[in-house]
Amino acid sequence: MAAAPVVVPFGTLEGPSVTGRRGVELIRLESSAVAASILTYGAALWNVEAPDRTGDRVSVTLHLPTLEAMEDRARNPYLGATCGRVAGRIGGACFPLDGDLIRVAANEGSNQLHGGHDGFDRRSWDVVDVAANDDGGRVTLALTSADGDQGFPGTLEVRTTYELHGHVLRIVHEATTDATTVVNLTNHAYWNLGGPEAATVTGSIGDHELRLPGERYLPVDAATLPRGPLADVAGTPFDLRRPQRLGRVLGELDDGIDHAFEVHPGDDVERAAFDGLGFAAELHHPPSGRTLTVSTDQRAVVVYTGNRLGPPFARQAAICLECQAYPDEPNRPDLGSVVLRHGEHHRQTTDLTFGTR
């Protein structure tokens, strides 16, 4: 049995979050291969340390050193956070639900992004469970989102669990509601497998290779809202079914990648090694040998190449691989449903597997 995860104070919020708590804790999970640090602020995956092919373990996530820096939205674009109540964009900050038009808080022009200006990423969550396992450990964080929070109906009870076992970090999001609402949660970690020095180098994600098995992606308009139906990746810069060097791909795209890709293209979908989750993405850094394999039970992975990153980080110095439903699904029933009703249990699982080759 591994040592119990360590819970230590991280800082105090300048003012209490919506939950009323000002204190923020850091929980460190460590296995024989990987270390992961989680913050109660935003239920965020604050840092991950993974080894290269020689065993040298360094930070592979963008993160800020202090809580003061994390409270500054200009410096903290959802770094590692749990995003909700609805991750991604909701067009016009409104959507129909059971015959009513629901209006939610707009925080990106006329649209809502990642749950509003005071989404789950800005809350101090409660630690409700911490435990060791035979090679790592887990922590579960909980949050109550009241009826009317950011305009969403229903009181939502949310839990995010991080469990590290060997080379695998599993993230589980769960939710229940007392009234019909919409839910789409995700983790928003920014990855650069080259190490912390790369975070300040413009375009440093370009030396990574990315593979996405999805045969379709979701085109977007100038506001990064879905435009039309899912489209074939064949013959486009978004065809990443075979590993592609990101520097070459980004050279063909003026605005970089900020698109959702299909995870389950059909019955012949590749399967990951853990619980039959669908293979969503593989990121590889040839110079160090580090790899990150992402598998999930979600229908989409949103790929974002840090196109709007700013100081202290450099543009396109990291990539996000956000497993979730499609953006703007509350307004796009053709893409799926994120409706959650009383008595239902929302659960989604993503595995992050760290390796080398």
Q: CB 317: neighbour CB atoms within 10 A?
A: 22
Burial group, residue 9, by CB count within 10 angstroms (0-12, 13-18, 19+): exposed
Confirm whether 71 is a catalytic residue: no
Pick the catalytic residue from 163, 322, 329, 346: 322
Confirm whether 346 is a catalytic residue: no
Pick the catalytic residue from 63, 188, 208, 284: 188
User: Which strands form 44-51's sheet, in the order they lie side by side?
Assistant: 6-12, 23-30, 35-39, 44-51, 57-59
DSSP of 312-355? TS-TTS-EEEEEES-TTGGG-TTT---EE-TT--EEEEEEEEEE
CA atoms within a 13 Å half-sphere pointing along the CA-CB vector of 108? 18
Question: CA-CA distances (angstroms) from residue 70 to 43, 76, 122, 192, 313?
Answer: 13, 5, 9, 19, 13
Active site residues: 188, 322
